[in-house]
Amino acid sequence: MRIKRVAVWAIPALLVGGVAYLFGYSNLIQVKSISISTVADNKEINSVIDRPIFNLKVGENLARVNVRGAEQALNGISWVEKASISRNWISGKVSISISGRKAIAKVLTPGQEGNTYIDLKGVIYKDPSVIVELPVITIADPKLALNAANFITKIPPDLLTEMKSLDLSQTGTFDMALSRAGIPLGKGGKVLIHWGSDEDLASKIKVYQKLILLPENNGISEIDLSEPKFPIVKK
């Protein structure tokens, strides 16, 4: 009876041990291929994938791939919006999917240098791969980045295409430089709009759209819309 009991208990233990060995140490379940889906071939991505601690290489035991650690490291890259990693236990394929942030403007802030951008969530990040021409936002305090992003979401698309730069002051007021095809404007073919705060912005935009089309405003260089009922136009 005792021998039978030992045998009964030994079988599950052997099975568990065998499965543990198979997944943890055996070469039968290996990484056979690694697929990377990303917006660009980026050195930062490759530097994460190549770290030995993550075991992300062909021939490595599939169970030993540090999925959570690699995902955290990839999501820590400033321009990455979301990174995820999955393993296919049948094919041995590791799939890495990376989506990048979408820049809405280039950002200038105190202490920031190089290719710095902002997305619609107000996240300021570095991205060496952005090559399209974007308007420039100057932000006095990086903590106001979300304010700048929210402001841009309220601007009509046709007005955004005319925007050349946007300055956000420490007090939360906005100054925007615009150019408009077919309409003579001031120095450099631009007009500077003083929006004040983003309060009642819809009304301010309507006032701007009416003022800019008036013939007597040809050649204007500034419009102060901080009080939309009493706009001030300067040439």
How confident is the model at residue 19, as a pLDDT? 47
pLDDT band at 153 (very low <50, low <70, confident <90, very high): confident
Those residues with Cβ within 8 angstroms of residue 17's Cβ, 6 or more apart along the chain or in another chain: none
What region, left, alpha or beta, does residue 128 occupy, with left being phi > 0 and alpha being psi -120 to 50 degrees?
Answer: alpha
Given a cut of 70, whether residue 178 has pLDDT beyond it is yes
SS percent in the chain: helix, strand, coil, step 5: 35, 25, 40
Kindly report, residue by residue over 90-142, the tens digit of the pLDDT: 999 999 999 988 888 888 887 766 678 889 888 888 887 776 778 888 888 88
pLDDT of 182 reads 54
Q: Where along the chain do its domains lie?
A: 2-100, 105-234
Predicted pLDDT at 16: 47
CATH top class, domain 105-234: alpha beta
Question: DSSP secondary structure string, 9-44?
Answer: HHHHHHHHHHHHHHHHT-SSSB--EEEEE-SS--HH
pLDDT at residue number 27: 59
User: Cα separation of 70 and 54, whole Å?
Assistant: 6
- For the segment 19-74, what is each residue's pLDDT rounded down to a tens digit? 444 454 555 689 999 998 876 667 888 888 899 999 999 999 999 999 999 999 99
Q: How far apart are CA 97 and CA 84, in angstroms?
A: 5
Specify the pLDDT at position 88.
94
Q: Cα-Cα-Cα-Cα dihedral of 184, 187, 188, 191, to 10°?
A: -70
Structural fold of domain 2-100: Ubiquitin-like (UB roll) (3.10.20)
Does the pLDDT at position 226 exceed 60? yes
**What's the confidence (pLDDT) of residue 225?**
94
Give residue 185's pLDDT band: very low, low, confident or very high (50, 70, 90).
Answer: low
Are the beta carbons of 168 and 121 closer than 8 angstroms?
Answer: no
Which residue shows structure tokens 């065998």? 18
What is the Cα gyration radius of the chain?
29
Strands 33-37, 93-100: pairing kind: parallel
Mean pLDDT for the chain? 82
